[in-house]
Amino acid sequence: MQFNFLLLAGLLAATSVGATPLDEPNDLQERQTPPPPPDQPGQQNPSGQQDQPTLSMFDGRSGSGETLDLTFQPGRCRNFPPEWRNRMSSFSKPQNSRCTLYSRRDCRGNRSFYQTDMTFICSVRDGLAERANSFRCQ
């Protein structure tokens, strides 16, 4: 009887040493899990770098067609890449941002304003559909 008790105690001790509770992640799982993204554009991410907001351009109406995402610094002019000059028909801007589209590069020429309360997908208007070449958002 005493021998059976020692054998049972030894088996229990051996199996509990290598066991890991299921609800606790091990070291490998913690390193492979990416950090969650910041809540809002422009907020610092865990690496200390500031995320840049994005303007998504579409060559079709109402967010259709080919798409190009351009990051930008708020308040600074951003020119469209050559293949997207005079091409954009609609775009989406960051929530609560004001954007201005310009007919010429370097934020010059005719312009069209898009306020903070406008919809997520904006149709290009004021004669700038397929004629915009730069933008500035704040």
10-57 per-position pLDDT tens digit: 555 555 444 444 444 444 444 444 444 444 444 444 555 558 999 999
Residue 24: its pLDDT value, please?
46
Q: How far apart are CA 74 and CA 130, in angstroms?
A: 23
Asked whether the predicted pLDDT for residue 119 surpasses 80, the reply is: no
Residue 99 near residue 114 (C-beta atoms within 8 A): yes
The HSE-up count of residue 135 (CA atoms within 13 Å, CB side) is: 34
Coil, strand or helix at 102: strand
pLDDT attached to residue 50: 58
**Residue 36: what pLDDT?**
41
Of the pLDDT bands very low, low, confident and very high (cuts 50, 70, 90), residue 117 is: confident
Stronger pLDDT, 120 or 123, i.e. the higher one: 123
